[in-house]
Amino acid sequence: MNNPRVRFAPSPSGAAHIGNGRTALFNWLYARANSGKFIVRIEDTDQARSSETSERLVLDTLSRLGLRWDEGPDIGGPYGPYRQSERQHLYARAVRELIETNDAYPCYCSPRELEMERKASIAARKPPRYSGKCRKLTVAERSAMEKGGIRPAIRFKIKGGSVEFDDAVRGGVSFDTADFGDFIIMRSDATASYLLASAVDDMEMRITDVIRGEDHLSNTPMQILIMRALGHEPPRYAHLPMILGPDGSKLSKRHGSADIHELLEAGYLPDAINTAMAMLGWSGVDGNEVETLEAIAAKFDLGGVSRSPSRYDKKRLDNLNSRALRSMDTGELLSLVSPALERSGFPIDRFGEEHMRAMIETAREGANTPADVVSHMGQFAGAVKPDDATLTILKAPETSQVADALKKALSGLSTIDTEKYKSVIESVSLQTGLKGKRLYQPVRAVITGAASGPKLADIFTILGPEELLKRIDKLEALERA
Interface residues with ligand GLU (CB under 6 A)? 9-11, 43, 198, 212, 216
Q: How far is the CB of 181 from ligand GLU (least distance, A)?
A: 21
Q: How far is the CB of 7 from ligand GLU (least distance, A)?
A: 7
Distance of CA 63 to CAs 24, 66, 270, 358, Å?
Answer: 11, 5, 10, 33
Cβ distance to ligand GLU smaller for residue 198 or 362: 198
Cβ distance to ligand GLU smaller for residue 58 or 263: 58
> Do the beta carbons of residue 402 and residue 428 sit within 8 Å?
yes
Cβ distance to ligand GLU smaller for residue 11 or 399: 11
Cβ distance to ligand GLU smaller for residue 41 or 255: 41
Cβ distance to ligand GLU smaller for residue 58 or 279: 58
Q: What are phi and psi of 305, to 5 degrees?
A: -85, 135
Please give the Cα distance from 80 to 409 (Å, whole number).
Answer: 74
Q: How far is the CB of 8 from ligand GLU (least distance, A)?
A: 8
Cβ distance to ligand GLU smaller for residue 43 or 103: 43
Cβ distance to ligand GLU smaller for residue 302 or 447: 302
> Do the beta carbons of residue 317 and residue 266 sit within 8 Å?
no
Distance of CA 183 to CAs 15, 34, 106, Å?
Answer: 29, 36, 11
Q: How far is the CB of 16 from ligand GLU (least distance, A)?
A: 10
Q: How far is the CB of 336 from ligand GLU (least distance, A)?
A: 32
Please give the Cα distance from 281 to 451 (Å, whole number).
Answer: 40
Q: How far is the CB of 471 from ligand GLU (least distance, A)?
A: 53
Paired with 236 in beta bridges are 209
H helix intervals, 46-87 = 52-65
Q: How far is the CB of 21 from ligand GLU (least distance, A)?
A: 12
Nearest to 442 by CA among 480, 408, 392, 478: 392
Cβ distance to ligand GLU smaller for residue 210 or 405: 210
Q: How far is the CB of 43 from ligand GLU (least distance, A)?
A: 4
Secondary structure letter of residue 307 according to DSSP: S
Cβ distance to ligand GLU smaller for residue 9 or 222: 9
Please report the DSSP string for 227-246 in residue order: HHHTT----EEEEEPPEE-T
Please give the Cα distance from 366 to 354 (Å, whole number).
Answer: 21
Q: How far is the CB of 246 from ligand GLU (least distance, A)?
A: 23
User: Is the backbone peptide bond immediately before 465 cis, with ω within 30 degrees of 0?
Assistant: no
Helix (H, G, I), strand (E, B) or coil at 416: coil
Distance of CA 260 to CAs 12, 30, 161, Å?
Answer: 14, 21, 42
Paired with 238 in beta bridges are 211
Please give the Cα distance from 279 to 296 (Å, whole number).
Answer: 11
